[in-house]
């Protein structure tokens, strides 16, 4: 039996293994069927962390997507706790994870509504992190895996458990203190702010708005790309 079938999650969270299936798709399907919030679906494959948490926001979607930052910060803190101190963990807005400058994972999200003024019935946020590289691991210099970056001791069960603990802590911060502390912490994890970027669009990334959206300057105009743009069809 996979060790991922015996994970230890903090109180308020429950786990549901999906074998080698897609936990994000499973979580969205379960959310549509009115599953309880705090349920984490996860893959039992050990070459990567693939998991998704179901949340039940009590505010309009435009603000509720701030929980995505909590999930990302939980992932960054989990890697910070398990990886050697010299390993750098950063994000490309809004959903890409970089380790030592190379792409190592992504974050996904879906909600019961796409209307930023409507309170969603559910919000699912998924994470994917490459732990062991496929093949020789060197075909694409902009992609990496944890084991290729000096994190050979990190295994999927420990990373899943750490991510769950740190994410719950950031969600508590969010619920008690609002988005401001998450905004500040995530800002410090984003290497692209103040630079020209090509993802998700080309322009100069001037900063984040109060809801975590991208402020992008193109030509002489600064426009907002809201965090809700990363939501997948559900």
Q: Identify whether the C-beta of residue 160 lies closer than 8 Å to the C-beta of residue 4.
A: yes
Q: Span 169-185, mean pLDDT?
A: 94
Give the mean model confidence (pLDDT) for residues 52-56.
Answer: 97
- Token couple for 186: 């995530």
Cα–Cα distance for residue pair 120/112, rounded to 1 Å: 5
CA distances to 119, 176, 179, 192, 230 from 173, rounded to whole Å, are 20, 5, 8, 25, 23
Question: What pLDDT digit, counting tens, does each position of 22-50 carry?
Answer: 999 999 999 999 999 999 999 999 999 99
Instruction: Report pLDDT for 102.
Output: 96
What's the rounded Cα separation, in Å, for the pair 231 and 215? 18
Closest by CA position to 72, among listed 181, 163, 201: 163
- What integer is the mean pLDDT of 179-207? 94
- % the chain with pLDDT above 90: 89
Confidence of residue 1 (pLDDT cuts 50, 70, 90): very low
In this predicted structure, the answer to whether residue 2 has a pLDDT above a threshold of 60 is: no
> Using one digit for the tens of pLDDT, what is the confidence trace for 127-174?
999 999 875 455 678 899 999 999 999 999 999 999 999 999 999 999
Residue 121: pLDDT band (50, 70, 90) is: very high
Please list the residues that pair with 214 across neighbouring strands.
208, 225
What average pLDDT score do residues 50-64 get?
Answer: 96
- What confidence tier does 191 reach under pLDDT thresholds 50, 70, 90? confident
At residue 136, the pLDDT reads 45
Using CA atoms, how far residue 6 sits from 12, 35, 145, 156, 158, in Å, is 17, 21, 24, 12, 11
Which is it for strands 123-130 and 102-111: parallel, antiparallel or unpaired? antiparallel
Residue 141 has a pLDDT of 80
pLDDT of res. 7: 87
Strand partners, 89: 99
User: Helix/strand/coil (H, E, C) string of the chain?
Assistant: CCHHHHCCCCCCCEEEECCCCCHHHHHHHHHHCCCCCCEEEECCCCCEEEEEEEECCCCCHHHHCHHHHHHHHHHHHHHHHHCCCCCCEEEECCCEEEECCEEEEEEEEEECCCCCCCCCCCEEEEEEEECCCCCCCCCCCCECCHHHHCCCCCCHHHHHHHHHHHHHHHHHHHHHHCCHHHHHHHHHHECCCCCEECCCCCEEEEEECCCCCEEEEECCEEEEECHHHHECCC
């Amino acid at each position: 039996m996979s060790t991922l079938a015996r994970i230890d999650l903090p109180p308020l969270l429950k786990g549901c293994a999906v074998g080698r299936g897609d936990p994000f798709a499973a979580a969205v399907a379960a959310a549509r069927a009115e599953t309880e919030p705090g349920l984490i679906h996860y893959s039992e494959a050990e070459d990567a962390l693939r998991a998704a948490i179901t949340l039940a926001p009590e505010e309009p979607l435009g603000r509720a997507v701030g929980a995505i930052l909590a999930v990302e910060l939980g992932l960054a803190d989990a890697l910070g706790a398990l990886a050697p101190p010299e390993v750098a963990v950063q994000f490309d807005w809004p959903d890409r994870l970089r380790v030592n400058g190379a792409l190592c994972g992504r974050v996904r999200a879906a909600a019961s509504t796409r209307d930023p003024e409507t309170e969603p019935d559910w919000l699912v946020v998924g994470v994917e992190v490459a732990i062991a590289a496929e093949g020789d691991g060197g075909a694409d210099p902009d992609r990496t895996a944890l084991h290729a970056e000096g994190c050979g001791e990190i295994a999927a069960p420990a990373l899943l458990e750490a991510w769950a603990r740190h994410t719950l802590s950031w969600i508590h911060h969010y619920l008690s203190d609002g988005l401001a502390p998450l905004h500040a912490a995530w800002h410090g994890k984003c290497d692209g702010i103040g630079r020209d970027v090509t993802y998700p669009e080309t322009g100069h990334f001037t900063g984040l708005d109060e809801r975590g959206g991208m402020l992008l300057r193109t030509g002489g105009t600064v426009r907002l790309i809201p965090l809700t743009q990363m939501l997948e069809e559900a």
